[in-house]
Amino acid sequence: MALAQAVMTFLALCGFFLGFASLGNLILRTLKWKMASDGEHVLVAIAVGLISAEVLLFLIQTTQLVKLGSVAIAALLCALLLEERKPIWAQVRGVLRQVVPSSTLGWAFFVLIVIVASVEFLASQAPLTGSDALHYHFTAQKQILELGFHPNFSDSNSFLCGQHHLLILLGLALGSERLALGFIFFGGILTAAALVYLISQSASWRIGAGFSLLFLLTPVVFWQISTSGAPDIFMAFLTCVTLLVLRKEEQIQIWRQVLLAGFLAGGIAGAKYTGCVIAAALVVAVAIEFRSVMQVSLFIFGLLCSGIWTYLRNLAWTGNPVFPFLSAKLSPHLVTTYGLAHLASSTGASTAHHPWQLIPFVLLAGAQEQNPGLWDFFGPTVVVLAPLMLFGFKNTRAWRIPILFWFLSGLGIFFASGLPRFLLPVFPIALSCVAAGFETSLRQRWTIASRVVALLLILITVAGAGGLAIYVQKPLLAAIGLQDKRTYLEQRTQDYEIVEATNRLLSGLENRQKALVFVRHLYYLDIPYLNGNPDTSFEVDPKHLRTTQEWKAFLEGKRIGYVVRSPDYPEAIATPLREMEESGDLIPFAQAVVQNFQGKRIDEELVGVPVVILKVGR
C-alpha cells in the first residue's frame, strides 16, 4: 500500500509540473518568447508557471480559503494542461529525442541517474523527520491551515517562510504530506536537468549527464531533496533557468529577455532573505552585461512582480518587510532581544567572518567547524577543478554572467550569513563552469590531467553513492511500508514521543485552552498550543516574565490552561515557573515517561524523559 501511494504521488506530481508547464507556456506565448531547444523551453515554462501558481496561492491564502483555493489551483492546472496538451506533448517528444543517449557511456549515465532519482524519490516519501521542517517549514503551513493566515509570533522562524513554502502549503491543503515532500524532490530533479542544459553549451551531453549525476549524489543535495523538508532547492532551479534565459545572444528583443529573467529571479528573492543577495548579484551582472538603465529597470520590475509578496506579507503584519531582521529600528515592540539574538546566531547573521575564509567559502569548500553536517557538504569537486576554468573561459555572455554572478553571490552570502548551505543556489552554476574546464582538458588532449580529473570525479561520485545508500536505508523502509510510520518516527524524530504523549494526555478534553510547550519540533502536535521557548518565540520575553505575577498575567492573557514540562523549563524562564509549581499555581495533571534523543539525532542515543502536564490554577 505504501509503495502504491508513492507511485500515485509521483503520477500526481508529474501532472502538477506538466500543469505548471502549461501555465508557463501560455505566459511565454503571450510574451512571444521561445527558448532555443524544447528542453530549455519546458524548464523555463515550468519555472514561470510554478512562480505564477505560487503568487496565485499567496493571494488566495489572504482570503483564508486555502483548502478551497488549492483545489481551484489544481483544477486550473488540469484545465490548462488539457488545453495545452498538443504543444506540451510536442515539447516532451522533443526533449525525449534530445536526451536519448547515443553511446554506451551515455546510457550508463542515464540508467544511473534514473536509479539515483528513484531512490531519492522513495526516500522523500518517508514520514517527515527533518528538524527545521518539523520546527517551521511544515509546521507554519500546517498552522495556516488550522488557524488561518496571520502572524505567528510564538514561532519566530515562521516569518522566514518564503514563496516556495507555498508548495508545502499546497500539498498539505490537498491532504497529502507526501505531495508536499514530492514537490521538493521534483525541485532537485529539475535543477539536475537544468544543469545539463547549462553545461551543454560548452561541453558534451555525456559530461553534462555525468555532472548531473554527481550533483544528485552530493550530500547537501540528496539531503535537501529527500528528507530535509526544506524547499530551498527551488532557488537553485530558478537560478539555473534565469541564466539559461540570460545567456541567449541571438538577435532578439532584449526587453523580453531581461523582463523574463527578472521574473524568474524574483522567485529566488522571494524564497528567503539570502535569496535577496543572490537576486542582487543578478541585478549587478545584468547591469554590467547590458549596460542599460532601461534593461536593468525591466529586470527589477520583473523581479518585483514575482518576488515581492513575502515582503509585503511581513510589511502588512509588522511594518517591517524583512522582519524579524532590522527590528531594532523598524519594529522593536514586536520582538524580544533574547529571541532575536538566538535567531541571528542560528542564521549566521551575528557570526564574525574572517577574510581568509572567503576563498574556500566561495569555492564551496567552507564548513561550520562547530556544527558540521550533510547540510553543508558540497564535496571537493569545485575547489579542486576550479583552476580548469581558466583554460575553458571564453569572453562570451554565457561565461561572463555566471562567473560574475557566482563570485558576487558567494561574497554577499559570506558576509550576510557565512553558512555554506546557503550557497546551494550557486552550486549548479559552479559545477557548470568546472565541467566546461574539464571539457577543455579533453579537447586539448591533456591526457594526464584529464585522466586524473576523470578518476577524481569517479571517486567523488562513488563516495556520494555510498553516502546516499547509508543515508536512505531507514527512510526507504518506511516509504515502501516495511516499517510502520509510528516506529519509524519514534526511531528517527526528535521530540516525537514527547509530542505524542502530550497529544494523548490532553486530547479529548472539552476545555480547548492552549498548552504552553517548550519542545522545538512541533509538527506532530495536534492540540492547541503556544511555543514557550524564548529561543524561538517572540511571545515569551525573559525580561518581562521574571516573577510569578507576570507569569500569571501572561498565562491568563494567552488563554493557556496547561504547561508541558519535558523534562525541564528553558533556563532563561525556569525560576518563576518552578516557584509556581511549589506554590500550587501550577498543579500536576498528568505524567508519562517517554524516550527521546540525547544530543544530536545522528548519535541515536535515546534516554528516558518525563513528560509532566501541569494545569494552571485559577
Percent of the chain with pLDDT over 70: 96
591: nearest Cα among 558, 564, 554, 561? 564
Is the pLDDT at 417 greater than 80? The verdict is yes
Confidence of residue 106 (pLDDT cuts 50, 70, 90): confident
- Note the pLDDT of residue 54: 98
Q: Which three cell numbers stand for residue 273?
A: 532573505
Residue 148: φ, ψ to 5°:
105, 170
- Note the pLDDT of residue 436: 92
CA–CA gap between residue 348 and residue 325 (Å, rounded): 12
Summarize pLDDT for 220-233 with one digit per residue, the tens: 999 999 999 999 99
Is the pLDDT at 240 greater than 80? The verdict is yes
Radius of gyration of the chain from its Cα atoms, rounded to whole angstroms: 25
361: nearest Cα among 322, 289, 417? 417
Which domains are assigned to the chain? Answer: 2-474 (no CATH), 494-616 (3.40.190)
DSSP 376-428: G---SHHHHHGGGHHHH--SSHHHHHHHHHHHHHHHHHHHHT--GGGGGGGHH
- Residue 31, classed as helix, strand or coil, is helix
- Note the pLDDT of residue 369: 64
Is the pLDDT at 251 greater than 70? The verdict is no
Is the pLDDT at 458 greater than 80? The verdict is yes
- Note the pLDDT of residue 356: 80
CA–CA gap between residue 365 and residue 345 (Å, rounded): 21
Is the pLDDT at 288 greater than 80? The verdict is yes
CA–CA gap between residue 521 and residue 499 (Å, rounded): 8
DSSP 307-371: H-HHHHHHHHHHS-TTTTTTHHHH-GGGS-HHHHHHHHHHTTTT----GGGHHHHHTT----SSS
Summarize pLDDT for 22-50 with one digit per residue, the tens: 999 999 999 999 998 999 999 999 999 99
- Note the pLDDT of residue 543: 93
Say which DSSP state 375 is in.
G
Calculate mean pLDDT across residues 307-315.
96
- Note the pLDDT of residue 375: 59
Name beta bridge partners: 5.
none
- Whole-prediction pTM value? 0.95
The per-residue pLDDT of the chain, averaged, comes to 92
Summarize pLDDT for 464-473 with one digit per residue, the tens: 999 999 999 9
- Residue 532, classed as helix, strand or coil, is coil
- Note the pLDDT of residue 301: 97
- Note the pLDDT of residue 511: 67
Count CB neighbours of 583 within 10 A. 10
Is the pLDDT at 202 greater than 90? The verdict is no
Calculate mean pLDDT across residues 280-307.
96
Calculate mean pLDDT across residues 89-110.
88
- Note the pLDDT of residue 350: 59
CA–CA gap between residue 207 and residue 188 (Å, rounded): 19
Calculate mean pLDDT across residues 566-589.
94
- Note the pLDDT of residue 598: 78
CB 424 within 8 A of CB 236: yes
- Residue 511, classed as helix, strand or coil, is coil
Calculate mean pLDDT across residues 545-568.
94
Q: Before 324, cis peptide (omega within 30)?
A: yes
Percent of the chain with pLDDT over 90: 78
Q: Which long-range contacts (CB under 8 A, 24 or more apart) does 456-459 make?
A: 456/380, 456/381, 456/384, 456/385, 457/210, 457/214, 457/381
Is the pLDDT at 607 greater than 70? The verdict is yes
Summarize pLDDT for 521-539 with one digit per residue, the tens: 999 999 999 999 999 999 9
- Note the pLDDT of residue 372: 61
Q: Which three cell numbers stand for residue 533?
A: 521557548
